[in-house]
């Protein structure tokens, strides 16, 4: 069996695997042993809907623990995407990659010190101008960013719209317009994350 982490042909490269508890019959069937691929990280300013999106993507097996050496809580959960089980991490709200608070430092460390498979930058569609500078910082840091323009329901109520294609072209990254609280755009978001996954769908035996 190939190791998903280091691509070696050996049985084990020493990377960590999660052993999951048994699930009830009516719950989606995750493989019991999850490859320790780097997580997909949800980042963004406070109050933009990261945790609502985290719950919409995961919700089956979630752990909450303090980030090592801090009192900052970090939630990790599992998401099923293209037949793969990926870890999703919900980071504390951050305004910039140059941290001021302990929460921001944890969010920065989760992105820049630990490896990530993809970074979902969640922004409030009503305040794009205020939030895009962090998108640029994430892109400049070389991170694999997908922009989730959330709260489109409220933006529409305010008479605002977002030109998804134009934004995507300008930024050069995938952009998804969504309303996480209404579970709108979740499937499209998963589709746009797929190219970043360690194993592409075509490589998974039927
Ligand atoms: N109308 C609307 N409200 C949303 C949407 N997504 C999230 N919310 C609301 O926005 C508020 C903040 O959501 P959270 O998920 O707690 O935001 P967060 O980014 O995790 O905030 P921090 O943890 O403080 O950084 C909540 O009241 C949500 O119900 C959405 O798509 N539409
Ligand atoms: Mg939150």
Measured from the Cα of 45, ligand 1's closest atom is 25
pLDDT tens digits, one per residue of 55-110: 999 976 789 999 999 999 999 999 999 888 999 999 999 999 999 999 999 999 99
pLDDT tens digits, one per residue of 148-161: 999 999 999 999 99
d(CA 83, CA 165): 28
Using DSSP's 3-state secondary structure scheme, residue 101 falls into coil
Q: What is the CATH number of domain 42-196?
A: 3.40.50.300
d(CA 118, CA 111): 10
d(CA 154, CA 160): 9
Quote the pLDDT of residue 83. 83
**Residues above pLDDT 70, as percent of the chain:** 78
Whole-prediction pTM: 0.84
Mean pLDDT, rounded, for 103-119: 95
Closest ligand, as measured to the CA of 50: 1
Name the one residue in this structure whose structure tokens are 């752990």: 63
Side-chain-side CA neighbours of 187 within 13 Å: the count stands at: 1
Angle made by CA atoms 70, 71, 77, in degrees to the nearest 5: 95
Closest ligand, as measured to the CA of 106: 1
Q: Give me 15's structure tokens.
A: 């990377």
Mean pLDDT, rounded, for 114-126: 96
Closest ligand, as measured to the CA of 179: 1
The pLDDT mean for the chain works out to 85
Name, in order, each residue with C-beta under 8 angstroms of 190's C-beta and a sequence gap of 6 or more. 57, 79, 81, 82
| Residue ranges of domains in the chain | 42-196
C-alpha of residue 31 to centroid of ligand 2, in Å: 27
Cβ 51 under 6 angstroms from ligand 1: yes
Q: Give me 112's structure tokens.
A: 């820049």
Measured from the Cα of 182, ligand 1's closest atom is 31
Cβ 101 under 6 angstroms from ligand 1: no
Ion ligand 2: residues, CB < 5 A: 50-51
Cβ 156 under 6 angstroms from ligand 1: no
C-alpha of residue 44 to centroid of ligand 1, in Å: 11
Name the one residue in this structure whose structure tokens are 């008479």: 159
* Cα diameter, the chain: 56
């Amino acid at each position: 069996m190939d190791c998903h982490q280091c691509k070696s042909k050996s049985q084990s490269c020493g990377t960590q695997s999660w052993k999951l508890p048994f699930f009830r019959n009516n719950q989606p069937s995750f493989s019991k042993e999850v490859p320790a691929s780097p997580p997909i990280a949800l980042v963004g300013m406070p109050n933009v809907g990261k945790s609502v999106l985290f719950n919409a993507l995961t919700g089956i097996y979630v752990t909450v623990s303090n980030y090592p050496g801090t009192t900052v809580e970090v939630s990790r959960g599992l998401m099923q995407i293209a037949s793969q089980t990926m870890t999703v991490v919900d980071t504390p709200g951050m305004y910039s990659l140059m941290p001021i608070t302990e929460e921001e430092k944890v969010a920065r460390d989760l992105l820049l010190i630990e490896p990530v498979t993809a970074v979902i930058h969640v922004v409030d569609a009503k305040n794009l101008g205020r939030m895009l500078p962090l998108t640029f910082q994430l892109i400049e840091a070389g991170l694999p960013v997908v922009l989730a323009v959330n709260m489109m329901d409220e933006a529409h109520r305010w008479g605002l719209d977002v030109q998804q294609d134009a934004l995507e072209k300008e930024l050069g990254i995938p952009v998804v317009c969504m309303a996480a609280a209404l579970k709108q755009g979740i499937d499209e978001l998963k589709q746009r994350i797929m190219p970043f996954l360690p194993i592409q769908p075509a490589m998974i035996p039927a």
